[in-house]
Chain A
Amino acid sequence: MKHSFIDQYCDLDSFIHRLDPRTKFVASLAFILAVLLTPAGKWWMFVFYFLIVLGLLIFSRLPPTYALKRSLAVIPFVLLIAIFIPFFKEGEIAGSYNIWLWKISVTYSGLFVLANVVAKAWLCILCLILLSSTTKLTELLRGLQQLGVPQAIVLILSFMYRYIFVLMDEAMRMQQAYQSRDIGGSLLRRLKTFGNMIGALFIRSYERGERIYAAMVSRGFDGQVRILNPLRLKGADVFFGVVFGVLLMSPYIILLVQ
């Protein structure tokens, strides 16, 4: 079975692809922090940060439509969480509707908050897309490890990435086997079957886990993860880090001066 991969464009070559994964990870964190701390309503700052991401996206030679599509795919989730804000925030009413027994009103301040939330979320997502499409997951994990992220978490992430497609294939085969014998039945029965399938998938994963562990032990695994060729920061990383940091900070400096 063929699946698309989250890091499908990381084989491209650009200045950004060649940066150390740690530089990119820290820079992304800093970017997200900067965006999140932007005071509501400072639209010029959002535009500024958007231009930074846009510039980096262009630099990275990712297909622009790809980044856009990817980022839009996440918007519904943000909306799902944030859509209620305009209805609950108190303030000047922008419009009210009668739905059956309820009277619902939307406030301007609520809409204002919603717009801020969506803008921040979208910028953060663009940044994460940039990070995940320019960095191989193996490199990123190695970077995390050297940044001091606990070994267990790095291992869990790497196993997750390695086996998620194996599990998806297994689930898909079960689904097909179910569909080829599906002759209808009540909703309750279908739900029961679905529950059984989830249970079976869990047991299979558990057993696979045991086999994988046996395979690791068979090759001398003793709980200690060893890594080769540690990453080394290059001049380009320092340069990028300084320029990026200054860019990120500049709007805040302007704010302070004002």
Chain B
Amino acid sequence: MKDKVIDIKNLSFVYPDGTRGLREVSLTVYAGESVAIIGPNGAGKSTLLLHLNGVLRGNSTVEICGMPVSDGNLKEIRRKVGLVFQDPDDQLFSLTVFDDVGFGPLNMGCSEAEVKERVSRALEWVGMTGYEKRSPHHLSIGEKKRIAIATVLALDPEVLVLDEPTSNLDPRSKWSLVALLTSLPVTKVIATHDLELVRALCQRVVVLDRGEVVADGPAETILNDLPLLRAHGLAPEG
């Protein structure tokens, strides 16, 4: 058996306003896997992702690489789990690309030389070398998405967690992003309802609806199970 990168058992979460976010979710992700979490709007995908690096905390423990998420090791957890938010304007909050990509490494206490090295390596990975001095608000959405991915790659994460990576992208930018993601040799967890993306990138699919895991299996099987997809609003009726 391969190493467990993410291990969640019976996780439930209720938002402060009483909305049920997650109900008894169990999920194990192994090293090297690409897992898609699909589900209709409001299924709890983003809520689940926010539990992976401890921004939200539910009733039961989430284990990352064998470490339970707790106050003591949040920094280490957040280095291991690279969470990329849906809207790159949320992810890129600095005035220059360099500051944004270097933000994580700086917070981890890297030296100046190491920060610079990590920034240029991360930008090279996503094909954005030479953008260091640009301002995020001058970039196209596709470019912003790539930089957003670079901001977490700079931390050398064990697992890359992406929330709707292809939303708002035109087909060309979308497929070039898919190619980029395929080329990155890390474990990936991708929340999306873009089934084309799932087909191209993921071997395993988890279906989430109303905060519950309703299916978990090989992408091939689940994406061809039309009745299942229909029941959860992921395929057209009829």
Interface residues of A (CB under 8 A from B): 137-138, 141, 158-159, 161-163, 165-166, 208, 211-212, 214-222, 224, 226, 228-229
Chain A residues positioned under 8 Å from B112 (CB to CB): 228-229
Residue in A165, A215, A217 whose beta carbon sits within 8 Å of that of B137 in the complex: A165
Answer whether A218 and B90 are a contact pair too, CB < 8 Å, given A161-B95, A228-B106, A228-B112: no
Asked if residues B96 and A220 are in contact (CB atoms below 8 Å), the reply is no
Please, what's the 1-or-0 string for B102-114, where 1 marks a CB less than 8 Å from any CB in chain A?
1110111000100
CB of B188 within 8 Å of the partner chain: no
Of the candidate stretches B75-83, B166-174, B209-217, the one touching chain A is B75-83
Chain B residues positioned under 8 Å from A162 (CB to CB): 93-95, 136-137
CB of B1 within 8 Å of the partner chain: no
Residue in B85, B87, B107, B116 whose beta carbon sits within 8 Å of that of A220 in the complex: B107
Report Cα–Cα, A165/B99, bound state, in Å.
19
A-B contact pairs, 13 of them (CB 8 A): A141-B95, A158-B95, A162-B137, A214-B55, A215-B83, A215-B85, A217-B55, A218-B85, A219-B104, A219-B107, A226-B106, A228-B106, A229-B112
Asked if residues A220 and B108 are in contact (CB atoms below 8 Å), the reply is yes
Report Cα–Cα, A149/B65, bound state, in Å.
42
B189 CB to nearest chain A CB (Å):
14
A250 CB to nearest chain B CB (Å):
38
Asked if residues A228 and B115 are in contact (CB atoms below 8 Å), the reply is yes
Apart from A215-B93, A218-B85, list 14 A-B contacts with CB within 8 A: A161-B95, A214-B90, A215-B91, A217-B55, A218-B55, A219-B103, A219-B104, A219-B152, A220-B107, A220-B108, A220-B155, A222-B75, A222-B107, A226-B106
Asked if residues B87 and A211 are in contact (CB atoms below 8 Å), the reply is yes
Chain A residues positioned under 8 Å from B91 (CB to CB): 215
Report Cα–Cα, A249/B186, bound state, in Å.
63
Report Cα–Cα, A138/B137, bound state, in Å.
13
Number of A-B contacts (CB under 8 A): 72
Q: Which of B55, B137, B155 has the most CB of A within 10 A?
A: B137
Chain B residues positioned under 8 Å from A159 (CB to CB): 93
Asked if residues A166 and B89 are in contact (CB atoms below 8 Å), the reply is yes
B118 CB to nearest chain A CB (Å):
12
Chain A residues positioned under 8 Å from B90 (CB to CB): 208, 211-212, 214-215
B72 CB to nearest chain A CB (Å):
13
CB of B120 within 8 Å of the partner chain: no
The list of the 5 closest CB pairs from A to B, nearest first, reads: A220-B107, A219-B104, A211-B90, A138-B95, A226-B106
Please, what's the 1-or-0 string for B51-74, where 1 marks a CB less than 8 Å from any CB in chain A?
001010000000000000000000
Report Cα–Cα, A212/B136, bound state, in Å.
14
Q: Which of B79, B90, B99, B103 has the most CB of A within 10 A?
A: B90
Asked if residues B93 and A214 are in contact (CB atoms below 8 Å), the reply is no
The chain B residue sitting closest to A209, CB to CB, is B90
Q: Which of A138, A163, A228 has the most CB of B within 10 A?
A: A228
